[in-house]
Structure 1
Amino acid sequence: MSKTILVTGGARSGKSAIAEGLISGMPGAPIYIATAEVRDGEMAERVAVHQARRGPEWTTVHAPTDLIGALRDSDGKGPRLVDCLTLWLTNLMLSDADWQAAGRALASELGQQASHVVLVTNEVGAGIVPENALARAFRDAAGQLNQWIAAEADEVILAVSGLPLRVKSND
């Protein structure tokens, strides 16, 4: 039976490393579904650090906007790590896509998966209220998306200073 795990937390809280550790304990060849679009040197460096940490046994699938398609295409081929939902949401919002429809569809799709899925997302609602309208809209959208995915997940883990804190478990 497949399991869906959501790993959330603040920036640089250890979310990705925790998620990678979860995947490494699951049977099958690990698949990394990357939602980032490399647009500058800083992002290229971040991607390189993540790739080096994961190692060559991981297959990488790029899915900046078609996350559901990537999940469907990779289902049955091994456990998947989606990193991250916040970048996926950013890509959708910047392309004027209907992020609400996409988010609801993703939440629904997770229940259809045969292979394990671990999703990483940022908790963006714990800080100050952003000054500009776009930032507030993003914060609100991320909060809503995270709630939809958390409701469907079997487990939700909060990353705090590199440590996993389980906040939901259906075991």
Structure 2
Amino acid sequence: MAVILITGGARSGKSKRAETRTRAFPGQPVYVATAEAQDGEMEARIAKHRARRGTDWIEREVPLDLAAALVASDGGGARLVDCLTLWLSNLMHAGRDWEREVDALAATLSNLKSPVVLVTNEVGLGIVPDNALARSFRDAAGIMNQLVAAAADEVEFVVAGLPMKLK
């Protein structure tokens, strides 16, 4: 079993790298999508990802209950979670206790049998946001990424499509 976290900036090549890593494991891969198509732009992004992946993936849409979805899908092919940052945004928007949910995810990762590859954005590398909500999200994402990275067997940082192994 392997837990692999792939992080980086927007449009850095994280998802493509994660798809490659997930396909390297035996069995039919499972794509665990956390995004919700709430507007035309997001619909287009989702369609682009689907077209690139092809039709050999099992797809699961999981905007909130990620730990439970990973447990339910355990024992089959490798799972690709894309992405933790959107999942965190969904949790915060829904008024859920994101800290409890992230702790539960980190604990779940150590008990899985099938591999899981998780994608997240590194949002703390830019300027300090000018509003409290954005600062709160940036801080929460940093905490989440640290906890998941600690639970992961491998961590990669992707820049310009090039992966750098961190752990």
TM-score range, shorter chain: over 0.9
- What are the Cα deviations for residues 116-151 of structure 1, in whole angstroms up to 9, with x where unaligned? 000000000000000000000000000000000000
The TM-score, its normalising length taken from structure 1, stands at 0.97
The TM-score, its normalising length taken from structure 2, stands at 0.99
Structure 1 unaligned spans of 5+:
none
Structure 2 CA distance for aligned equivalents of residues 119 and 78 of structure 1? 14
Report SS of the residue matched to 1:144. Answer: helix
**Residue in 2 that maps onto 1:75:** 74
Structure 1 CA distance for aligned equivalents of residues 75 and 44 of structure 2? 31
Q: Does 1:150 align with 2:152?
A: no
Structure 2 CA distance for aligned equivalents of residues 99 and 130 of structure 1? 20
Matched ranges for 1:57-96 at <5 A: 57-96=56-95
**Residue in 2 that maps onto 1:24:** 23
| TM-superposed deviation, 1:89 | 0.1
Structure 2 CA distance for aligned equivalents of residues 6 and 127 of structure 1? 21
Structure 2 CA distance for aligned equivalents of residues 151 and 44 of structure 1? 33
The amino acid that maps onto 1:88 is W
Report SS of the residue matched to 1:91. Answer: helix
Report SS of the residue matched to 2:166. Answer: strand
Structure 1 CA distance for aligned equivalents of residues 70 and 158 of structure 2? 24
Structure 2 CA distance for aligned equivalents of residues 47 and 77 of structure 1? 24
Structure 2 CA distance for aligned equivalents of residues 24 and 88 of structure 1? 22
Structure 2 CA distance for aligned equivalents of residues 7 and 64 of structure 1? 19
**Residue in 2 that maps onto 1:105:** 104
**Residue in 2 that maps onto 1:166:** 165
**Residue in 2 that maps onto 1:36:** 35
The amino acid that maps onto 1:148 is L
The amino acid that maps onto 2:139 is D
- What are the Cα deviations for residues 139-166 of structure 1, in whole angstroms up to 9, with x where unaligned? 0000000000000100000000001110
The amino acid that maps onto 1:72 is V
Report SS of the residue matched to 2:134. Answer: helix
Structure 2 CA distance for aligned equivalents of residues 24 and 60 of structure 1? 14
| TM-superposed deviation, 1:65 | 0.2
Structure 2 CA distance for aligned equivalents of residues 49 and 73 of structure 1? 27
Identical positions, percent: 59
